[in-house]
Structure 1
Amino acid sequence: MSIAEQVRQLASQARQASFVIARLSSAVKNELLLNMASALVEGTQQLVEENAKDLEQGEAKGLSPAMLDRLMLNDTRIAAMAEGLREVAALPDPVGSVTGMWKRPNNLTVGKMRIPLGVIGIIYESRPNVTADAAALCLKAGNAVILRGGSESIHSNLAIGAILQREMEKMSIPTAALTVVPFTQREGVLELLKQDETIDLIIPRGGESLIRFVSENSKIPVIKHYKGVCHVFIDATADFAMAEKIIVNSKTQRPGVCNALETLLIHKDIAETFVPHIAGVLTALGVELRGDSCVRQFAPDAKAAKEEDWHAEYLDLILAVRVVDDLDEAVAHINRYGSLHTEAIVTADYANAQRFLREVNSSTVVVNASTRFADGNQLGLGAEIGISTTKLHSFGPMGVEDLTTQKFIVYGDGQVRS
């Protein structure tokens, strides 16, 4: 059987399984997710061993330390995956919920009810935890899911998928509702993107080139998230200790992730004192600074920033820094160079905080906290299927409710249209 034929068969089987998943009760879905969480913890040793194969191959291919960090599984991360499944199980089930009812003049009662999307295809790179997160969210929302990870994480993804599918088998739930594509050839992705009759939505997770490739080749609607050019603006009234803590966490905790800080904006009134201070702190932590002329006046070791630095998603210990005249200039910079991902302001001025929240239209806007909170788990979604930086049909970290749509429901007592 060719790769194209295999993909068509997997998609067809997922479509049939989706009808079963859509009918499962909340209790059954929650029991399944809790069983899956326990099975992941019990399978820690197996998962670490399979992940070691991927890490070895990644090092041989010359993957960067940031990419290898995304790829790595250890006891802590596997436990976090399991906890994510438990949190999804604890969430309210959106399927079947009625979001509004109203009465028409002819006494028809009209409402809207949440229903599953159907079959969701996830195309992703590196992070094997996506396999568990995506499966949990899709199943909770009553959807079947087809997971196509990258070649760099194939051993980890297949091992996670096998553990989860065993729990489905035990409960007589069709395993085709959770399919991990077992081959990595690009032909498989191209064929997957043609299955518009059996797959309802494609969600790519990975680098900008992957997402553009998927968007350009898909016959199926795509949730896009090209890159995370995240900003922090330090207002003139900011507490320096708070600002330092937020900047360091946003930039250095995990520089290779999409919610890491990439551009720091500093109000001109505090530049003379704050720029040399934060430059010293970040340089000591191994961060390379690229600043405008004002930044370099107070931090002469910083490299000169170029135009492309304001557009850059470094995913590394590199930070672009600019001094701005005021809040207006900070917002204008974000609107010009941002990627609609995550922006933060550090300020003691309530009015400025409210203006920042209203005027910055990125998918997550933060006051006095790290950009690293732009994450489904951290925002109370249990786990996330991805982050949407397009405004249809979801914007920002996507949780279980974002994997449903709504249909109209109508109650009558014999009305006919005249």
Structure 2
Amino acid sequence: MTATWVPGADATPYTVANLPYGVFSRPGEPARAGVRIGDHVLDLAPVLHDEVFATGSLNAFMARGRTAWQDTRRLLQRLLSADAKEAPANRAALEPHLIPLRQVRLHLPVEIGDYVDFYCSLEHATNVGHIFRPGGQALMPNWRHLPVGYHGRSGTVVVSGTPVIRPRGQRVATPDGEPVLAPTAKLDIEAELGFVVGTPTRPGESAGDFADHVFGVTLLNDWSARDIQAWEYVPLGPFLGKSFATSVSAWVTPLEALEAARIPGRAQDPEPLAYLRRSEPWGLDISMEITLNGEPVSSPPYREMYWTPDQMLAHLTVNGASLRTGDLYASGTVSGDEPARRGSLLEITWNGAEPVKLSDGQSRSFLEDGDTVTITATAPGAGGTRIALGEVTGTILPGLA
């Protein structure tokens, strides 16, 4: 692995093998784009002499396409390398634009166009089927034939650290009860991986090569009100139970940084239709961790997802729906085959029947006001390193009664 001259960065999972992009500001200054190196952010506009990084979002840069993404990444790695012949000169030129993270505010890195959420974990879909349809068929007949998804609400995608206000909606206390309008009593999380679209498509055309369109990935928490969801989701699916907030990391990890994390993906039976057959290995060996009030409660394994992100993109566009720069689509909850590997409290506690025991003696079936949830993740990086995806965190605030 190439070392960097940035102090302390090589001892972190944010080395030159990573370099995630984000948008930041300092007090009294406009927001602009940077890359994270160690515990610093490098201000890109003055370093690269390119005003595209001073626009307050990554969209204009992402719209330039894959060749520009690759060229910019290689240039930044060279500028930040301690091994380059010109390293002393590079350090002198760049160091004034290297800002400690503690001095900046992080913003939503992308202007979100559309948001689609998939449902791609076999274990999660099976668990939810058993919980919501006890005694019935866990998986619907279509589930193994296509990546099931729904169109979410892009206007409530928020950056990590934004408080989440407890939503209210219609819910019923018992299966045969009458609905009431009330705050959710079953506020939940969903640990997911989000995919950020850079290169658009024209209406009527399907997306081609996955890596030509997807700029990078971001950790995502699809907050869910399970009681509202259970009442409303038949026959059209999620609505108010999920539209109140979706949190994403402040950092977008470039797809290229995950090259060493690529794996073939899980075997699929039956074989998908031709447009969904994998031409490249786009499974990703990403290890996630969920903490509740600072205490680890689960470690979901992304590598075990049934549908891979290239298949999600192919299905999203097969009908001719166009992509826009800034579109976001997510994997759905990442879950494994046992409680300690599940990605939602709905599954971990089996809809509240088996509460999580915390070390301070408290227990949780679902989230209470004041609770803070943080999702982190790591993946193999270049040269045997391990890189981190930017965390996504949120604290629950009381809502309207």
The structure carrying a bigger helix percent of its residues is 1
Larger radius of gyration: 1
Which band: TM-score by shorter chain? Answer: under 0.3
Question: TM-score, normalised on structure 2?
Answer: 0.24
Question: TM-score, normalised on structure 1?
Answer: 0.23
